[in-house]
Structure formats: C-alpha cells, structure tokens
Amino acid sequence: MTPELPTERIELEDNLVLRTATPEDAEEVAAFNSVVMTEPPDYEPEPEIGDWTRDLFDGVNRRVGPNDFTVVEDTKTGKIVSTIVYISQVWNIGGIDTPMGMPEIVGTHPDYRRRGLVRKQFEVMHEWGKERGHLFNTVMGIPYYYKQFGYEYALDAWGGRATARTALSGVLAKKDSTPPLTARNASREDVTFIAETELNSRRRLFVTAARDSKIFESELFGRRDASMVFYRTRILEQNGVPVGYYEYGTTTKRDKIDVNALEINAAVNWLDATSSMLVDLKSLADAIETADGGKCEKIEFGFGSEHPAFKLFDSQFGSEKKPYAWFVRVPDIAALVSHISSVIEARLAASDLHGWSGDLKISFYRSGLEMNFDAGKLTAVKNTGPIERDEAQAHYPDLTFTKALFGQYSFTQLRDMLNDCFTHKPAHQALQDILWGGQQASGVLPTN
C-alpha cells in the first residue's frame, strides 16, 4: 500500500466537498460505483465493479488503499456523488521499469454531472502522481472524454481475435489424439513460475505492466471471484513440468470467455502451446453454463493482434477483434524521454544513422522538445516553449507525439494521417522513425 497521504479536503460550490476517502466509505463507494457505471439501454447495476472497488479498499492491490480514492460529498444530504481511485503502478517501456499512475473507476451521479467534479479530482490525482514520481498516466474509458484533461489515445488495448466455442474444434491432426501439453488450474505454488515466464513477453512487446510474484498472487488469490478484473490462470505442463500459462476470465452472465495472456518458456514452442490452449478452452467453454441456462458460445483473445498464436491457426481464431486504446498523459515529455534514453540510443546505434551528432528540435506547436546528441548518445533533453516553424526538424500537432513515443504509430504513419505532422527533409523523417521505433506491439492487461 502507498504511504498515507495528507488528507485532502477542498470546499467546492453548492455544499460539495472533495476529500480523500476513509475505510468507512468503502461500502457506499462500492454501491455507488456499481450503479453509476451502468450502461444503456438496460442500465442494470454492475455488481462486479462494486467488488473491484471493495478489493481496492481492502488493499488487495498493495499499492492502493482507501486514501487513494477521492470522493465528492454533498454535505446537505451526506451522500457521495462522485468518486475516482488513483492506482499506482510500474509499467515497463522497452525494458525499462517506469513508475506511472492510473485514475480509474471514474463516476459521477447523473444529477451532479457537468459541474467539473471529475476535473477537480483529476487535478488532485495528477498532483499525487507528481509527488510519487510518476512519469505518465493512463486511463481507459469513454471515447474522447479524457482528452479534455490532457490525455491522448496512444496505446492499443484489447485487440486480437474473436471466435466461437464450436470453432475451437479440429485443432489436433487426429480426432482421438491428445494435445502436446496438459492443463490445470494454477496454485499459489505457481506464482513464481508465472512471474518469471511473463518476463518473456518483453522480448516482443514494447510496453507491459510490471508484475512480480506477489502481484500475481494477489491478483489470482486475493480478489473477489465476482470482481470485474478477476481472472483465472491455467498452467500448461509438459510431462508434469510447467512450461507455459494462459489467463482467462468470464463475464457476469458467463456468456463469454476473455483470454488475456498466453506465455511460454524456452522449453516449449508456440504451436504446441497454442494448440493445447485451444483444446483446453474448448473443454472449459463446453462445461460453462450461462446465467440463462445456455452455453458459453463466444471466446475473445485480447492479447494484441501480433501475438505469435494467431499466425499458427486460421479458422479457430475467428475474425479480427479491433482494439480500443489507452488514453495516455505525459506531464513532462523531457523527463520520460530522458528516462528511456537508453532505448532511444540503442535504436539509433542499430540504424543507418548510427553515431549521429546534432541538435534536434521537435515542435508541438504550443510547446516543444529539444534533444542534443553527441556520437549517438543523448546528452541533453529539455522541454521548450513554441519553436519557430523553420527551426523545428519535426512537427507533431497537439498531443500526437505521445502516439509515436508509445509506439502506437510511426512518425511516417502520423504524417500520412495528419497534414500538420511533417518534416522539412527526408533525413528528418527517417530520424523520427528511428528514434521512436515506429509501430510496436504492446500488452498491458490486466491493469490493476
């Protein structure tokens, strides 16, 4: 759990007070979140969000506790009318652990919306992030909404494939053959193996969530089963020895299985692991009865469109599942660029411009970034004010640089999409694509 912060108490208009939560607020906040997060057209309460909230209040995530929630209370009624939680995490960018923070479970009662209550709480949480040394923030949620608080879509999320239970048949070459690997539920004794195996994903993914064995243990065995972010893990074994795992969860109605991860170690190949997972998933789906007495017919794989498993089977993985995206906010671009300078230098060293020296000015129109290189080493980086058009080697409108920084798009892709994203010379374009690495696969689920 994070160290206790000074208690916030901010008097707002109309008898409203913004304050940090206390343990006594847990049940009211959980009940509030389960109702306020409802979606049209049914507007049915979502108890799984309430259980997620309870887990966070209880400290299941050891970096989060009651004082990481903000609430807005109407002192006239004594009711909580808006709330957010700030989840401190470490994500790994190109092999470098990077502290960050995530405002989540953002909700306001319909009668109190459009009064700036979320904005006020985001200001508090962004200040918390600064105090904790967080280099960026992410949030997942309603389209566009978080752009008004300095966020930009910059990391793909949930993308992959979607298929049907019946499509999982025919994986094995012979009808009566058995899969190369066996599968079983994970136990507490497996968490070290899971954490070590998960590290292999960093070889192919640019951004991942850093999770050690303690985090895996709390995620697997500390959360409430009905929590929105609860998932199960199946261990894949070869002759009784763990060689891989996959993570999955089911919806409240049990009408869909979401597969969040598939990872293996060096003892096994992707074909054996993938075929074994698909056979096991078919068995799981066959055994699941939905809330209305039917069969679980849908399986979605949300671990990114570039996962090795998708290259090995065709019809079994069904159709493309287009990604949504994380909103990302970087309060100090120079600080984050400096933090991952070794990644940038390695890209330059491996490129046609290895050993390059010079000053690079990047314009964001209303602000900018200046970088200095000496024989391929990044010697200085600083934020600037607006840079004159003829002085900047590259131009990124608004917050679109974040997309290149986090590998969602290359500079060239952004240039082709946006008229006000450009360079003056071909060499400047090449340098941008080198430094930021171009489009890269990432995987940061589950997230809390």
Are the beta carbons of 259 and 159 closer than 8 angstroms? no
Q: Alpha helix (H) ranges present in 17-83?
A: 26-36, 47-58
Q: Which CATH architecture has domain 9-150?
A: 3-Layer(aba) Sandwich (3.40)
Give start-end residues of each CATH 3.40.630.30 domain in the chain.
9-150, 160-324
Rounded-to-integer distance, Cα 109 and Cα 99, Å: 31
* Per-residue confidence in pLDDT tens, the chain, 448 aa: 444 555 789 999 999 999 999 999 999 999 999 999 887 666 688 899 999 999 999 999 888 999 999 999 999 999 999 999 999 999 999 999 999 999 999 999 999 999 999 999 999 999 999 999 999 999 998 999 999 999 999 999 989 999 999 999 888 877 778 999 999 999 999 999 999 999 999 999 999 999 999 999 999 999 999 999 999 999 999 999 999 999 999 987 889 999 999 999 999 999 999 999 999 999 999 999 888 888 899 999 998 889 999 999 989 999 999 999 999 999 999 999 999 999 999 999 999 999 999 999 999 999 999 999 999 999 999 999 999 999 999 999 999 999 999 999 999 999 999 999 999 999 999 999 999 999 999 988 755 6
Rounded-to-integer distance, Cα 222 and Cα 388, Å: 54
Rounded-to-integer distance, Cα 333 and Cα 436, Å: 13
Q: Can you name the residues that pair with 256 across neighbouring β-strands?
A: 298
Distance of CA 202 to the CA centre of its chain: 14
Q: Supply the CATH classification number for the domain 160-324.
A: 3.40.630.30
Q: Which of 34, 113, 17, 25 is nearest to 68 (CA)?
A: 25
Rounded-to-integer distance, Cα 424 and Cα 391, Å: 10
Cβ neighbourhood burial of 390 (10 Å; 0-12, 13-18, 19+) = exposed
Rounded-to-integer distance, Cα 399 and Cα 418, Å: 12
Hey, what CATH topology would domain 332-436 get? Nonspecific Lipid-transfer Protein; Chain A (3.30.1050)
Give start-end residues of each CATH 3.30.1050.10 domain in the chain.
332-436
Q: Which two tokens stand for residue 390?
A: 């003829």
Helix (H) or strand (E) holding 396: none
